[in-house]
Amino acid sequence: MAKGKSCVVLPFLIGFVGALIVGWGLFPKLLYSEKAQPIRFSHKVHVEDQGMACDECHTFREDGSFAGIPTTEECAECHAEVMGEDPAEAKFVEEYVNEDREVPWLIYQKQPDNVFFSHIAHQDFDCTTCHPDVGNSDTPPVYYENKISGYSKQTMKMWQCERCHAQNGASNACYVCHK
């Protein structure tokens, strides 16, 4: 009988611990695919070497909307032709500027269309409160794409928005974010 009992506990424990290992260790690795940006954009070159400020490229438009990542046309104001030695720049000029195409940048915080996020309403926060600190990176961080939902791993969930709103006394009414 005692022997029989130990036979039950051990497989249970093995199953339990195994599930924990798979669930916490393996599952996240399986769930996300790792992607690199189409162009290895170096913020460092632009900020440190060229002394550019963030808002030279990441601007608010006249109507208060946020321009996000600059368009190819805006990049081409400087990069109409290859300026440096970096092969990534050459690739950008050749494949996007010359072809008049937009770069399909991977947006780490991309929100669905039904979320109306206003950057200008959040401008008192530091960018890195929500975004990865890419300002000094030479190679953009790896982008983790959820294989099921297609969203970035870092896309903020609604509960995170709501928590911050609650902590800061901002309204959590539906229409604040969903128009």
Q: Which parts of this chain interact with other proteins (CB under 8 A)? A: 4, 7-20, 22-24, 27-28, 31, 61, 63, 65, 67-68, 71, 112-113, 146, 148-151
Are 149 and 111 spatial neighbours (Cβ–Cβ below 8 Å)?
Answer: no
Cβ-based nearer residue to other proteins, 68 or 87: 68
Instruction: Give the single-character DSSP code of 63.
Output: T
Are 69 and 109 spatial neighbours (Cβ–Cβ below 8 Å)?
Answer: no
Residue 66 C-beta: closest distance to other proteins, Å: 10
| Main-chain phi, psi angles of 35, to 5 degrees | -130, 150
Cβ-based nearer residue to other proteins, 16 or 125: 16
Cβ-based nearer residue to other proteins, 44 or 66: 66
Residue 114 C-beta: closest distance to other proteins, Å: 8
Its sign, for the CA torsion 164, 54, 37, 42, is negative
Which H helix or E strand runs over 88?
helix 87-92
Residue 11 C-beta: closest distance to other proteins, Å: 4
Cβ-based nearer residue to other proteins, 3 or 169: 3
Amino acid (one-letter) located at 137: S
Cβ-based nearer residue to other proteins, 139 or 155: 155
Residue 49 C-beta: closest distance to other proteins, Å: 28
Residue 86 C-beta: closest distance to other proteins, Å: 27
Query: Which residue matches tokens 């200008």?
Result: 120
Are 138 and 42 spatial neighbours (Cβ–Cβ below 8 Å)?
Answer: yes
